[in-house]
Amino acid sequence: MHTSQEKKVYILLIAISLLTIGIVLGVIYPTTNDINNLKEETANLKNFLEKRYQRTVQSRNSVHKIEAVREQVALLDKHLFKSGRELEFITLLENLSPKFKLEQKINSSNLDDPNKQALQFNLILNGSYKNALRYLNELENLPYFIKLENISLSPTGQSPEKDSTVRLVLDISLYVSK
């Protein structure tokens, strides 16, 4: 009788062990795998959302930068000479020379070129040294991007007076916006 009871205990222990192994292999192991898969998917989703958030932040920053650039371009646009307003600029130069009591001759090499990116002028001025410098200062303070390509200042008279007559030759480029 004792042996049959020992057998029952062994069978019961084997049954409990098999049931435990079955539960571990059938329930706990797949659940652990599912948890690990969910953990990996969550990490991937977190990385995806973080990248998307960074792109959104960059897009917002880009929109703000675009607005700032637009404001700067608007300011820059004031200083660009518009194509088709050549006569207005020449009139400005012609009105500038009498202001400083200078004789002026204006030549342009590319005034009629429709594909010009810059207007090129040759200005020849005759008058007093001080007035020539004032004219040059006024020219530099015009609200356009003007590049002085060449400047030549030479006396026209023989006497080295304080306010002697000079000849000022300027080659300038004026950047043109279409």
| Radius of gyration of the chain from its Cα atoms, rounded to whole angstroms | 44
Sketch the domain layout of the chain as residue ranges: 1-79, 81-177
Tokens of 130: 């001080």
CB-neighbour burial class of residue 18 (10 A; exposed 0-12, middle 13-18, buried 19+): exposed
Cβ atoms of 95 and 106 closer than 8 Å: no
Local structure of residue 110 (DSSP, 8 states): S
Q: What pTM, to 2 d.p., does this model score?
A: 0.58
Q: Specify the CATH class of 81-177 in words.
A: alpha beta
For 127, left (φ over 0), alpha (ψ -120 to 50), or beta?
left
Q: What is the DSSP string of 64-96?
A: HHHHHHHHHHHHHHHHSEETT-HHHHHHHHHHH
For tokens 């000849």, name the residue: 167
Q: Give the three-state DSSP class for 156.
A: coil
The span from the CA of 142 to the CA of 8, in Å, is 111
Cβ atoms of 177 and 81 closer than 8 Å: yes
pLDDT tens string for the chain (178 positions)? Answer: 567 888 888 888 898 888 888 887 888 888 889 899 999 999 999 999 999 999 999 998 998 899 888 888 777 777 777 777 788 888 888 899 899 999 999 887 777 776 777 888 899 999 988 999 999 999 888 888 888 899 998 888 766 666 678 999 999 888 877 7
Tokens of 90: 């020449």
